[in-house]
Amino acid sequence: MMNIIKGRPENASPDLKEALRYMGYKGHTPDPDSMKLIEECKSELLKAVSPVCCYMYTEIRAISEDETELVFGKVKSRDLARHLKGCTGAYLFAATIGISVDRLISKYSRIKPAKGVITDALGSSSIESFCDFAELEITKDITQHCSRFSAGYGDFSLSHQTDFMRCLDMNRTLGITLSDSLLMTPTKSVTAVIGIGASNRTCASKCISCPNTKCIYRDSGH
């Protein structure tokens, strides 16, 4: 059964520390003028967001140390198998903060590039904040569950975006489309698997599973 959660703008309020990391500040505090511009962009962003997510339950079956079977078939991924170890089921999850955010980023990228960069970073943090909110809503009555784990983390292939699209009917439910290069539109959108039925476990940060240790956006703690 498909379930929908429609959020409010405050459920997608970006985390400033995370957004600053996306902007490349890496622990440095912006000057007052920059902070004023960031707050201005945040205010405009929150007027543009339309946070919504959909999710459905799937049984899962561990096949081996690097293969798991979900509703859409077998997934060859050691990282996902390790994350879901001991789980008896899972939720397939997708969320977006809407196409208006893409339009806002595009507008400022053309006329005020600095605001474009800031709004893009705030948008990336905004969708993560909404995912955190939605994940808590989905699991609020479940005592044992894992945090979300997305296609593209570690060796969980991004090619499975097509499976999420099909199973969650994301074009109809969320207005999300997928390009030939597997990029979603709206761009501030996320798909993930949330394991349930095992001892609480988290991937803590997508940076843990990413092999690109020189990435400028990498969490300094990883």
CA of 124: how far to CAs of 117, 140, 142, 144, 180, in Å?
A: 11, 24, 28, 28, 22
Confidence of residue 219 (pLDDT cuts 50, 70, 90): low
> How much is the pLDDT for 1?
84
Strands (E), the chain: 3-6, 52-59, 61-64, 67-70, 73-76, 89-96, 145-149, 177-178, 184-185, 189-196
* Domains along the sequence of the chain with CATH: 2-209 (3.40.109.40)
Task: Look at residue 156 and tell me whether its pLDDT is greater than 90.
Answer: yes
Segment 150-173 mean pLDDT: 95
CA distance 192 to 56: 11
> How much is the pLDDT for 209?
45
Question: What are 194's strand-pairing partners?
Answer: 91, 148
Segment 22-38 mean pLDDT: 89
At 91, give phi and psi (nearest 5°).
-110, 130
CA distance 211 to 156: 12
What are the tens digits of pLDDT across the range 98-148? 999 999 999 999 999 999 999 999 999 999 999 999 999 999 998 889 899
Confidence of residue 203 (pLDDT cuts 50, 70, 90): very low
pTM for the model stands at 0.89
CA distance 99 to 171: 12
> How much is the pLDDT for 197?
84
Structure tokens that stand for 63 in this block: 């096949």
